[in-house]
Amino acid sequence: MSAWGKLHSAALELSKGTPLKQRLMVTFSKYLTELDAGDLPPSLRADLSALLAAFESVAPLRGETAVQSTVRKMSNEQAEELAARVVTLFGQVARLSSPRPVEDAMRAVPASGAEDGGADVHTLFAAEA
């Protein structure tokens, strides 16, 4: 999966209805650990490194990972800020990626909406894959 795809999946994970701290741990373990800075535009590599470091800034207790310890110790405001940083990085990658998958996908959906009950929505999601 591309860097765009991993960050997109991370952003979708963050949009779920589970508790934010749980979403952050899943986002890190399923999507962010797989990101290679070399797959990002050079201007965003330092942002990724700082983001990953922020997820592992607290020494783990016995039976915990650094991510679990870090997220557990966060205030709600810090958790919201970290989630926002993930989504912001996704937006930056989407803007700098070529071809632009989001803009291409949006062109697949008619401006007036799908007249056939949503068949064009499938085109939108197919473009993300």
Q: Specify whether the CB–CB gap between 31 and 39 falls below 8 A.
A: no
Tens digits of residue pLDDT in 118-127: 444 444 444 4
User: Do 58 and 106 reside in the same domain of the chain?
Assistant: no
Q: Report the pLDDT averaged over residues 79-96.
A: 92
Is the pLDDT score of 101 beyond 90?
no
User: Do 106 and 44 reside in the same domain of the chain?
Assistant: no
User: Do 68 and 124 reside in the same domain of the chain?
Assistant: no
With b for 16 or more beta-carbon neighbours within 10 A and e for fewer, the 58-88 pattern comes to: beeeeeeeebbbbbeebeeeebeebbeebee
User: Do 107 and 84 reside in the same domain of the chain?
Assistant: no
Concatenating the DSSP letter of every residue in 69-109 gives HHHHH--HHHHHHHHHHHHHHHHHHHHHSSS-HHHHHHHTS
User: Do 33 and 78 reside in the same domain of the chain?
Assistant: yes
User: Do 67 and 119 reside in the same domain of the chain?
Assistant: no
Both structure tokens of 38: 């070399």
User: Do 42 and 87 reside in the same domain of the chain?
Assistant: yes
The total number of structural domains in the chain stands at: 2
Tens digits of residue pLDDT in 27-58: 999 999 989 889 898 999 999 999 999 999 99
Q: Output the pTM of the full model.
A: 0.72
Both structure tokens of 77: 């405001």
